[in-house]
Amino acid sequence: MTTSKRRKPFALWLGAALLLALSVLAVVAPIIWGDSAAALSSEVRGGPSAEHLLGTDPLGRDVLDRTLVAARLTLAMAAVTTLIAVGGGIVLGATIVVAGRRVRGLGERLIDLMIAYPPIIVALSITAIFRPSVGSVVVAIGLAFVPQFARLTNTLASSVSSKDYVVVARLVGLRPTRLLFRHVIPNLAGPLLVLTSVGFASAIITLSGLSFIGLGVQEPSYDWGRLLAQALQDLGVNPIEAFGPGIAILITGLAAGLLGDGLNQFLDPRGPVRRRRRRRAATSGGADARTPHAALLAPAPDAVVSVRDLTIAASPESVGAPLVRGVSLDVRAGEILGIVGESGSGKSLTAMAIARLLAPGLHWSAETLSINGADVSDAREQTPVRLATDVGVVFQDPSSCFNPARHVGPQITEVARVHQGLSKRAANELAIERLREARVSSPEVRMRQYPHELSGGMRQRAMIAMALLTSPSLLIADEPTTALDVTVQADVLQLLHRISTTRNMAIVLISHDIKVVSTLCHRVCVMYAGRIVEELTVEDLREGRVCHPYTRALLDAAPRLEPSARQVPLIPLPGRPPQPDQPIVGCAFADRCPLVTDRCRQEDPALRALPRGGVAACHVSTGPLEDLLVTQ
């Protein structure tokens, strides 16, 4: 059992300790150093000395003592200011959220209007109207910051109240006020805490600023701002004088920031959780699990892509099993290879490694990774330019792959212009040709449109056109139809098929949907927990001649559109795939497998040709599994 334990955030403790120390200082400093801070001496504008560590001011008073004593007034003023700003802001913002539609609209406009005035101007105006004093300056700055907090509360609350869990809670019959206090406010707490701490820090700075220009604290009282103002006049003569109040403001701001940040992390149940890792030795698979796979495949000199023993890990010394373990595959020209598996099976990582688009921080190695015969397996090498033109990639979500602020055209032509040095005109002509090939209607118009003006299916076709621009020999399509409607999916699958035949192109199709894979592909690799567990022709897959219990389970779990399907219950796969931080001992599927034996729990099966036909990584299976329930 993996236990999780809350990590105490370091920031929280440091921030809390600093603020506590500052508060204690604020209480005791005037008592201890009150007199000495007011004592005049003959040493005027003195530099640091044993007696006056931070020098003295124009009247010969000790700057260190005065800085310490000023903590009380400064911190008290900042606290009250923050209280006014945050309290007023939350009340105002939340009231507007729960109010009716008309009040809400009006209130939001009003806040927008108030926010248009910089807080410092508002504070200046208010203090200028009233007599400058500690009280008026605190109220003025507090009020000046209210609109910002109101706006933030309002924005955050509106976004939280449209969340599904608030909708569901409303359906349960919760009253609006209860809804606000139970679901909305707690989920605002984090950002609001951070903002409060930032607000506290900026309150100190603004207060000091006002004192600095003479509108805040008046003589004989003094805060850090006042001390700073004094120091500035002497800056040419005695620079050290500014050091004390300056550093005090800095430390206080830092402490407030740390505390807010730390509290936010601490209060969030999703916060940094440290998984106690299993201490068991990570005996992965054993050598037998890796080697024979490549040997099993007929050596394919005509392969466009050849991968042998690809391994991807989060870090070289990671505790768990690698994310991808010893994957080998070949794709020939004109062939569509499907890689199917659940989320976390490593199918996308494998494809991205082939395209050399793995996220930085992932470590990979391969015995062979060649594209068009050129070995690109040196992980340290920068992506060769050739690769950008040899491999085209189509991603799952076409809407996030185009820059929304640029026209579609220049984004499509970029590859050709950068890597092939085509002129703008030639690149445009090429792009229009490719768009037409991808069945994008009126391509000339589309080139000058923004991505949002295209429908989802159209964007995906445009992305396919972009991937084809440089006539790559390999196209990697990573869940290209998952975000699309079924009708559009059918069109895109047909398009991919046509591209592979007319261009004799190798395609790797990644999908979680075994039905999609078996409709389009020629050959299919089934991945589970980072390994290929079965490799088969699409004919075998369509006829259900599958050998690995996992593939069988995938087929049995997928609903079919057949009249009798309602009467035959689906067979769900029990359990969950191994988590990435768990080391895998034996066959990764053992815990969920109906055919499991003792051997499966000790030894990871190698991918091998089975006696009754088929290629699968299974100790038990001897050939096609008709039906797991019958076999048992």
- Residues 594, 473: Cα–Cα separation, whole Å: 41
Residues 455-474 that bind other proteins (CB under 8 A): 455-458
Q: Which of 125, 100, 115 is nearest to 145 (CA)?
A: 115
Rounded least distance, CB 288 to other proteins, Å: 28
The answer to the question of residue 373 lying near other proteins (CB under 8 A) is no
Contact between 5 and other proteins by CB under 8 A: the answer reads no
Site for other proteins in 315-344 (CB under 8 A): 342-343
Candidates 158-166, 233-241, 358-366, 601-609; binding stretch for other proteins (CB under 8 A): 158-166
d(CA 50, CA 521): 83
Tell me the C-alpha distance between 616 and 606, whole Å.
Answer: 8
Residue placing its CB nearer to other proteins in the complex, 291 or 519: 519
Listed ranges 82-90, 381-389, 395-403, 448-456: which one lies at the site for other proteins (CB under 8 A): 448-456
Q: Does 628 bind other proteins (CB under 8 A)?
A: no
Q: Which two tokens stand for residue 267?
A: 């209060």
Q: Residues 9 to 28: which contact other proteins by CB under 8 A? A: none
Q: Shortest distance, CB of residue 569 to other proteins, whole angstroms?
A: 6
Determine the interface stretch with other proteins among 60-68, 170-178, 280-288, 623-631 (rule: CB under 8 A). 170-178
> Does residue 489 touch other proteins according to CB under 8 A?
yes
Query: Cβ of residue 165: shortest distance to other proteins, in angstroms?
Result: 4
The stretch near other proteins (CB under 8 A) out of 193-201, 245-253, 280-288, 483-491 is 483-491
Nearest-approach distance from CB 563 to other proteins, in angstroms? 4
In the stretch 236-275, what mask flags binding to other proteins with x, by CB under 8 A? --------------------------------xxx-----
Q: At what angle do helices 243-267 and 185-212 cross, to 10 degrees?
A: 180
How would you list the strands of the sheet with 474-478, edge to edge?
A: 391-394, 474-478, 506-511, 336-340, 523-528, 531-537, 615-616, 608-609
372: alpha, beta or left? (left if phi > 0; alpha if psi -120 to 50): left
CB atoms within 10 A of CB 43: 15
- Site residues (CB under 8 A) for other proteins, limited to 374-393: none
Site string for other proteins, 92-131 (x = CB under 8 A): ---------x------------------------------
Around 129, how many Cα atoms within 13 Å sit in the side-chain half-sphere? 7
Minimum distance from CB of 229 to other proteins (Å)?
Answer: 45
Residues 176 to 215: which contact other proteins by CB under 8 A?
178, 182-183, 186-187
The reply on whether position 171 binds other proteins by CB under 8 A is: yes
The stretch near other proteins (CB under 8 A) out of 70-78, 110-118, 162-170, 604-612 is: 162-170
Q: What share of the chain is helix, strand, coil (3-state, %, to 5)?
A: 55, 10, 35
When the beta carbons of 168 and 609 are compared against other proteins, the nearer one is: 168
Residue 612 sits in the site that holds other proteins (CB under 8 A): no
C-alpha distances out from residue 604 to 312, 518, 532, Å: 18, 27, 12
Please say whether the beta carbons of 455 and 483 come within 8 A.
Answer: no
With CB under 8 A, what is the number of residues at the site for other proteins? 73
Given 120, 319, 571, 610, the residue binding other proteins (CB under 8 A): 571
Q: How far is residue 413's CA from residue 91's CA, in Å, rounded to a whole number?
A: 52
Q: What is the DSSP string of 217-246?
A: S-TT---HHHHHHHHHHTTTT-GGGGHHHH
CB 484, min distance to other proteins, A: 9
- Both tokens of 516, joined, read 């999609």
Pick from 298, 561, 629, 630: which binds other proteins (CB under 8 A)?
A: 561
Q: From residue 128, how far is each of 120, 216, 285, 555 by CA, in Å? A: 12, 10, 77, 77
> Does the protein bind other proteins through residue 405 (CB under 8 A)?
no
Identified binder of other proteins from the candidate list 233, 441, 502, 597, rule CB under 8 A: 441
- What is the closest distance, in whole angstroms, from the C-beta atom of residue 399 to other proteins in the complex? 12
Which residues, 6+ apart, have CB-to-CB distance to 305 below 8 Å? 329, 330, 331, 354, 370, 371, 474, 506, 508
Residues of this chain, 339-368, that bind other proteins according to CB under 8 A = 342-343
| Contact region with other proteins (CB under 8 A), list: 27-35, 242-250, 251-259, 489-497 | 489-497
Q: Cβ 338 to other proteins, closest distance in Å? A: 11
Q: How far apart are CA 632 and CA 626, in angstroms?
A: 11
Q: Could you tell me which stretch among 148-156, 196-204, 233-241, 517-525 binds other proteins (CB under 8 A)?
A: 517-525
Q: Which is nearer to other proteins, 407 or 497 (CB)?
A: 497
Going by C-beta distance under 8 Å and a sequence separation of 6 or more, which residues neighbour residue 136?
126, 127, 130
What distance in Å separates the CA atoms of residue 2 and residue 6, rounded to the nearest whole number?
13
What is the smallest separation between the CB atom of 63 and other proteins, expressed in angstroms?
47
Q: Please name which of 515, 510, 509, 589 lies closest in space to residue 558, comparing C-alpha atoms.
A: 515
Alpha carbon of residue 266 to chain centroid: 19
Point out which span in 47-55, 306-314, 346-354, 512-520 binds other proteins (CB under 8 A).
512-520
Closer Cβ to other proteins, 394 or 516, answer by number: 516
Kindly tell me which residue out of 518, 551, 582, 621 binds other proteins, with binding defined by CB under 8 A: 518
Buried b (16+ CB within 10 A) or exposed e, 461-486: bbbbbbbbbbebbbbbbbbbbebbee
Distances (CA, A) of 428 to 284, 345, 381, 405, 457: 51, 39, 32, 19, 21
- Residue of 74, 68, 59, 76 whose CA lies nearest to 231: 59
Site string for other proteins, 522-551 (x = CB under 8 A): ----------------x--xx---------
CB of 378 to other proteins, least distance (A): 35
Q: Which two tokens stand for residue 539?
A: 């004919």
